[in-house]
Amino acid sequence: MIGSHSRKEGFTLIELLVVIAILGILGALGVTMLRSSQADAEELQCKATIQTLTTALEQYKSDRRHGAYPLTSLEGVPGAGKLTNRINLGAESMFVALASKDFRGDRPSESLGDDSFENTDGDVSAKPLTIYGSKDLFEFLDPWGNPFAYFNAADYGNPAVRRYMAASTVGGEYEIVTVKPWENAKTKSPFRPSSYQIFSAGPDMTFNTEDDIGNW
C-alpha cells in the first residue's frame, strides 16, 4: 500500500528519466533548428547584399561619365597614391567607385549602413576618395565578416589582384589568402566572362569552396 501511495505522489525514476530524455531531444532539436534558420538568414542577407552591390554597379556603368564597371585596382586613380600592400585591391576599388562623390546612384555604403564595410587590411589612400572624410580603403563585408571579393573581367587572369584578407572564424584574426575568380570546372571558362565577379567566401569563411555566394 505504501508503494502505490508513493506512486501517486510523484514520478518514478523511470518516468523522470523519460521526461529528461524527451526534454533533451526537444532542446537539441530546438538548437539545431535555431542554428539552421540563423545560417539561412545569413545566406539570404549575403545574397541581398550582392544584389544591392550589383544594382549599384549597373548604375555606375550606365552613367556615361563612367561607362564601364570599376577596375580591379585603384592604381593610377588620382589621389590613390601608392597602393603599398596589394591586398583587397578589387574590393577597395569597388568600394571607392560606389562611395565616391561623383557616383549618382544609390550608394550601398549608405543604404547598407556603417556595419557593412570595414578596412580589414588597414591601408589608406593619399587623399580621401569617398564621401567619407577618411582615407581608409574600405571593403564591403559579408555577414560572416570577410570582405567580398571583386574582379573586373579584364583581370580574371591577373594573379596580382588575388590577395585578400579573410578570417577563418567569426571574429577571428584576418590572414592573407589567395582568391581566384570562379571558372567552370570542366571548360575552364570564367563565370561572368564579360562583366565582373563579386563573391563571398560563404559560411565556411574560405574562398573558392562550394559554398561561396556570388553574382551568378
Give me the 32-71 binding string for Ca ion, x by CB under 5 A, dash otherwise.
Answer: ----------------------------------------
| Site pattern 101..140 for Ca ion (x: CB under 5 A) | ------------------x-x-x-------------x---
Q: Does residue 212 touch Ca ion according to CB under 5 A?
A: yes
Extract the C-alpha cell encoding 125. 589612400
State the binding string over 135-164 for Ca ion (x if CB under 5 A, else -): --x---------------------------
Number of residues in contact with Ca ion under rule CB under 5 A: 12
Q: Where are the beta strands (DSSP E) in the chain?
A: 117-118, 139-140, 149-152, 163-166, 175-178, 196-200, 213-214
Helix 89-99 vs helix 13-62: crossing angle, to nearest 10: 70
Q: Which is nearer to Ca ion, 63 or 204 (CB)?
A: 204
In terms of CB distance, is 142 or 155 closer to Ca ion? 142
Angle (CA) 138 100 105, round 5°: 115
Report 182-211 residues binding Ca ion (CB under 5 A).
201-202, 204, 206, 209, 211
CA atoms within 13 A on the CB side of 43: 12
- On the 0-12 / 13-18 / 19+ scale of CB atoms within 10 A, 207 is buried
> Distance between CA atoms of 116 and 108, rounded to whole angstroms?
9
Residue with smaller CB distance to Ca ion, 71 or 201: 201
Q: From the CB of 189, what's the least distance to Ca ion, in Å?
A: 21
Could you list the residues that contact Ca ion (CB under 5 A)? 88, 119, 121, 123, 137, 201-202, 204, 206, 209, 211-212
